[in-house]
Structure 1
Amino acid sequence: MNLHRPFRGTHAVAAGVLTPKMLRGPRFHRLFHDVYVAAEVKIDLALRSQAAYLLVEGTGVVGGYSAAELLGASCGPRDAPAEVVIPTRMRSRPGLLVRAGVVPPGERCRAGEVLVTSPLHTAFRLACRLPLVEAVVAVDALTHQFSIDPWDVVRFGYRYLGAPGSGQLPEVARLADPLAESPMETRIRLAIHVDGLPVPVLQHPVGAYDLDMAYPDVLLAVEYDGREHLTPERARRDLERQAHLTEAGWTVLRFRAADVLHRPWMVAAAVRRALAVRGVIAADRVSAPRRGR
């Protein structure tokens, strides 16, 4: 029994691996009722989702943000609850979101040892229930990971005509782009779109590098700098990359998480100013940032 993955406490005790007293001690972390993991294991959405599956194995599946996470298309908040879909009565609890329903065999698949909703089913459900921006973020992540046409999500929805939230599916598909490589890239792109600015080209190649978003005609790039850019090795590679882009005549606008998540209008304003300077849009269209969009 691997104690560094979620396990049933009763199974560990029955197998003679642990005692009830050991489970109550500091060596193990209780994730859900009768579900534990070794205390030194990092607890994240993927781990909590694996743990939640042990509660419904044989009757339900993992869905929503949890399914996306286990499918390699991470798009949810770090503190999102683990989500399961189960036909029998079961209550949600802190850290666990339970949805009632039956997922047909053709709409589920395996992610490792966990049964999850399929990429299309997952994209459909998230696109229906989330606000527009977050819905596009989810569809971008899943369509990118599995090379799916966003309009296939709309067509999939024909199986569930009248489903709550399905009315926004065409708009989600229109705004989605499978070339987006991260949720933050999607949010930046949508901030630009909402501001009425020209849509940038995604993953534009410049020599050995791909730019997150670019306006190639005016050599302007827009990129997201995440935490991974703070490591010494990544910082060194970023300097080499920046030197290459500068030599090629490119200007790069970089944004951090706080701007993208909390001040998207400032992101759009910076792009707007840069486009105006380069004559892409009229200078008189540049005004003070409009908050709350």
Structure 2
Amino acid sequence: MSVPGWPEVFRGTAAIEAGLVTRGQLRGPEYHRLLPDTYVRASETPPDLTVRSLAAYHWAGPDAVLCGYSAAEMHGASCAPPTAPAEVVVTVIRDGPRSRHGVVRVRRDLLHPGEITEVDGVRVTSRLRTAFDLARWLSPTEGVVAVDALARGEFTPDLLLHFAVRYPGRRGVRKVLDALSRADARSGSPPETRLRLILVQGGLPRPVPQHPVVDERREILWLDLAYPEHRLGVEYDGGDHFATPEAARADARRHTRLVAAGWRVLRYTSAEMRHSPSRIVAEVRKALELSRPDAGQGELSISPEP
């Protein structure tokens, strides 16, 4: 008798019935109970969103479909905050599973068959449906972050217009339309999307995501964000550039090659993005003004993205 999810994430009663584990073992140090009758292997680190989502999927019942941040995680488009609860959608209106604060959010909705797919045997909303849902559920900024992450290399964000037409009365559809005007599937990561939005919302022109720069060795260096006509790059500094001495040296060599190719690069951390967005906008604006061919001939204005 096979038990779905065994031995990583599984229903306890099913594992007991199959003879894979005893009740005493489930109460021991080897397993951790995440939800009623739903267990995971014990670990030194807290269960991540993937594990928590799988637990919610097995717990919620046979008609459950992972949605929202959980679906994005399963699609390999991580964009959720670390403490985001798992999300499932079910069609049962009464007597079905209920949300558990901070652990799992249960949504009740109807899904078109074409909006459901499988990832490793788990039913999840499709990339397009997941992007549509997150764009209407989240804040304007995080909605764009989610659309960028899900669309990257997979679909054109404009395809979400079909969902807006299919579900015109759904709450948050207007937020989806707004997200489409600002989304860009070329974005390399959620922090890069947030940095781009800081610049645009600050009145600066829309930068080009993942812009290639050919250096003196005819090799390509990719900039997170770029204003090619100004030879100005703007990048997210996640800290991994200095994780090891080798990484730090490689980062220094990359920066030197960009400078040799005639580029100036400004870099910002997540803390700066959270606490000093206006300073970031001011510094990039000044760099754009100074990099104009006629810089130094008086005050220059930078036209914002229409």
Q: TM-score, normalised by structure 2?
A: 0.87
Query: Secondary structure of the residue that 2:211 maps to in structure 1?
Result: strand
Q: 2:110 aligned to 102, 111, 125, which one?
A: 102
Deviations 1:124-180 (A, max 9, x none): 11111211111111111111141x111111222211111111012222111000000
The match for 1:120 is: 128
Q: Return closer, same or farther for 1:4/1:264 CA change in 2, 3 Å cut-off.
A: farther
Q: Return closer, same or farther for 1:275/1:4 CA change in 2, 3 Å cut-off.
A: farther
Over the matched positions of the two proteins, sequence identity in percent amounts to: 45
Which residue identity is paired with 1:34? Answer: D
Which residue identity is paired with 1:225? Answer: D
Cα contact 1:277–1:283 (8 A) shared by 2: no
Q: 2:288 aligned to 275, 280, 283, which one?
A: 275
Which residue identity is paired with 2:248? Answer: A
CA shift, 1:35, in A, is 1.3
Quote the Cα distance in structure 1 between the aligned partners of 2:291 and 2:90.
Answer: 55
Q: 1:252 aligned to 265, 289, 303, which one?
A: 265
* Corresponding position: 1:199 with 2:206: yes
Deviations 1:91-128 (A, max 9, x none): 10031000012222111101112100011111111111
Quote the Cα distance in structure 1 between the aligned partners of 2:44 and 2:113.
Answer: 32
Q: Note the 1:164-203 alignment, pairs <5 A.
A: 164-203=171-210
CA shift, 1:212, in A, is 0.7
The match for 1:234 is: 247
Specify every segment of 5 or more residues in structure 2 that has no aligned partner in the other structure, as ranges: 215-219
CA shift, 1:58, in A, is 2.1
The match for 2:223 is: 211
* Corresponding position: 1:162 with 2:169: yes
Cα contact 2:64–2:89 (8 A) shared by 1: yes
Cα contact 2:148–2:184 (8 A) shared by 1: yes
* Corresponding position: 1:143 with 2:151: yes
Specify every segment of 5 or more residues in structure 1 that has no aligned partner in the other structure, as ranges: 287-293
Q: What is the number of equivalent residue pairs in this alignment?
A: 285
Query: Secondary structure of the residue that 1:73 maps to in structure 2?
Result: coil
Quote the Cα distance in structure 2 between the aligned partners of 1:65 and 1:41.
Answer: 24
The match for 2:41 is: 38
Cα contact 1:85–1:100 (8 A) shared by 2: yes
Q: Return closer, same or farther for 1:12/1:137 CA change in 2, 3 Å cut-off.
A: same
The match for 1:18 is: 21
CA shift, 1:41, in A, is 6.8
Query: Secondary structure of the residue that 2:99 maps to in structure 1?
Result: coil
More helix per residue: 1
The match for 1:92 is: 99
* Corresponding position: 1:221 with 2:224: no
Which residue identity is paired with 2:242? Answer: L
Shift >6 Å, 4+ stretches:
none
